[in-house]
Amino acid sequence: MTSTWKPRIVLFQCQWCLFSEADQKWVDTQRPRNVRLVKVPCTGRISPLYILNALQGGADGVLVSGCKPEMCHFKEGNLGARRQLDEFANFLEYAGLEEGRVHFAWLDVQERGRIQQELADMEARLVEMGPSERMKTRAPLKEGGLA
Ligand code: FES
């Protein structure tokens, strides 16, 4: 794998989890070009099929960022999402996807710059793993969308 290869990452972001305006602006307008953003009203609204769709569409990894447990605007949407997506990630690993390609991060109000670090960590993991071929069933992601 060449050192210039950039993994394609899909970021599912709860619209409430970044309280820092600067961090949200970075995600909205300055994130790296290899990161596709899907904003959701709460991680509880993310169907595991969205994750599968991203992987089938060419994502090398998926990061889900949600509010800390006690900070969810919909009481426990994030807890349900975490349980469901962790189970789904286990299923994907059982189906042959490497561990770490799907990651869930709780973000706290006080943690400025954490989303950048989470994305950098995920990218480093994915670069080490190389491209994901296991789940791809369709043409690669196109600019500005999943399909
Ligand atoms: Fe952010 Fe529920 S509102 S995870």
Count of residues making up the chain: 147
**pLDDT over 70, % of the chain:** 91
The per-residue pLDDT of the chain, averaged, comes to 88
Of 29-43, 95-109, 125-139, which gets the smallest average pLDDT?
125-139
Per-residue pLDDT, averaged over 103-122, amounts to 90
Confidence of residue 110 (pLDDT cuts 50, 70, 90): confident
Q: Which of 39, 67, 115 has most ligand 1 atoms within 8 Å of its beta carbon, as the pocket-test mutant?
A: 67
Model confidence pLDDT, tens digit, residues 54-96: 999 999 999 999 998 888 999 888 899 999 998 999 999 898 8
Q: Which atom of ligand 1 is nearest to the CA of 16?
A: 1
Per-residue pLDDT, averaged over 109-122, amounts to 90
User: pTM for the complete prediction?
Assistant: 0.88
Q: Where does ligand 1 bind, in terms of residues with CB under 6 Å?
A: 14, 16-17, 42-44, 66-67, 72-74, 77-78
pLDDT at 133: 79
Residue 3 has pLDDT above 70, yes or no: no
**For residue 7, what are the contacts with CB-CB under 8 A and spacing of at least 6?**
34, 60, 61, 123, 126, 127, 131, 132
Give distance in angstroms: CA of 138 to centre of ligand 1: 30
Give distance in angstroms: CA of 63 to centre of ligand 1: 15
* Cα 121 to the center of its chain, rounded Å: 12
* Ranges of each domain in the chain: 9-129
Give distance in angstroms: CA of 43 to centre of ligand 1: 5
Confidence of residue 147 (pLDDT cuts 50, 70, 90): very low
Q: Phi, psi at residue 33, to the nearest 5°?
A: -65, -20
Please give the CATH number for the structural domain made up of 9-129. 3.40.50
